[in-house]
Amino acid sequence: MTAAPLLEVDDLTLRFGGMTAIDQVGFTVDDGELFAIIGPNGAGKTSIFNCLSGVYRPQQGRIRFRGEELLGQRPDHIARRGVARMFQNIELFDNLSVLDNLMLGRHQHLNYGTLSALVYAGRAKRAEIENRRAVEDIIDFLEIEAIRRSLVGMLPYGLKKRVELGRALAMAPQLLLLDEPVAGMNVEETEDMARFILDIRTELGITMIMVEHDMGLVMDIADRVLVLDFGQWISLGPPSAVQNDPAVIKAYLGETA
C-alpha cells in the first residue's frame, strides 16, 4: 500500500474576468518531495502559490493537504496547518535584527492570545523559551550566527534571502513554498541556497514546492517538475523526462520565437 500524497490538487481553475490564469490543473506532491513548478512568464506559477496559501480564491477545484480541504480557507488558517511561504520579494522588517525577524515569524505562526499569556504566564514563558531555542536552531542551520544581531536592512541581498528562508522555517512548516528562491542571486549565492534547500529536505524532512526560472537549479535538485504554459498543464515528471518532452520544448521555444 502506498501512502497518500501530502498535497493533492485537482481541477484547479482560477479566472480573472475573462482571462483564465489556471486552467484545470492537477498534481500531487509526496511527503518529503522537492517538487518544482516551471513555465514561461505568465504561465500561472505564482497564481498556484497564491491559491495554495489562500491569497487567491479559485473558482473551481480542490486542494487537499493531509486530507483536509484548504480551498476557501483563510491564509492564516492555512499557515497554521503547516504551509509556509518564502516570498520572492523579501517580507522582512528592515529595521529589526535577524533574530527579531525570525522570532516574529515564529510568533505569527504560534500566536498566543494576550489573555492566555497573562493567565498562563508559566506556560507562556516555557513556550517563549522553546520558540527561542527553535529560532537559534534555524540560525545555526542557515549558518547566520555572525549576523544574528545585524539589522536586516543592512544585509546584502543574498543574506536577506537566507533570512527570508529562515523566517519561513521559523513557522515550523510541513510544506514550504519557495517563490523564486535564487532570483537575482550570483553563482555563489545560488549554490549556497541550493545547498540549504537540499539540507532542508534531507535533514529537516520538509516537503517543498519551488517556483523557479533558473532551469539549471531546477533540473539539478528537483525530484519532479510540473510545467505550465498559459495556465495549462503541459508536462509532469522527473527533470530528465520533462527536459526532453516536445511539448515543453515548444512552450519555451515559442516564448523566445
Ligand X SMILES: Nc1ncnc2c1ncn2[C@@H]1O[C@H](COP(=O)(O)OP(=O)(O)OP(=O)(O)O)[C@@H](O)[C@H]1O
Nearest distance in Å: CB 237, ligand X: 19
* Residue 47 or 190 having the CB closest to ligand X: 47
Is residue 177 a contact point for ligand X (CB under 6 A)?
no
Q: Give residues 117-136 in contact with ligand X (rule: CB under 6 A).
A: none
Is residue 39 a contact point for ligand X (CB under 6 A)?
yes
Nearest distance in Å: CB 63, ligand X: 16
Nearest distance in Å: CB 88, ligand X: 8
Nearest distance in Å: CB 46, ligand X: 3
Figure out which of the listed residues 35, 45, 53, 102 binds ligand X, where binding follows CB under 6 A: 45
Q: What is the DSSP letter of 25?
A: E
Is residue 42 a contact point for ligand X (CB under 6 A)?
yes
Quick check: 76 and 131 in contact, CB under 8 A? Answer: no
Specify the 3-state DSSP secondary structure of 199: helix
Q: Which helix (H) or strand (E) holds 255?
A: helix 246-256
Helices (H), 2-146: 45-52, 75-80, 98-109, 114-119, 121-141
Give the Cα separation of 42 and 21 in Å (integer).
8
* Residue 39 or 82 having the CB closest to ligand X: 39
Closest to 228 (Cα-Cα) out of 46, 65, 68: 46
Is residue 73 a contact point for ligand X (CB under 6 A)?
no
Is residue 109 a contact point for ligand X (CB under 6 A)?
no
Instruction: Return the exposure string of 11-28: e unless at least 16 CB atoms fall within 10 Å of the residue's CB, then b.
Output: ebbbeeeeebbbbebebb
Is residue 85 a contact point for ligand X (CB under 6 A)?
no
Contacts with ligand X by CB under 6 A lie at 16, 21, 39, 41-47
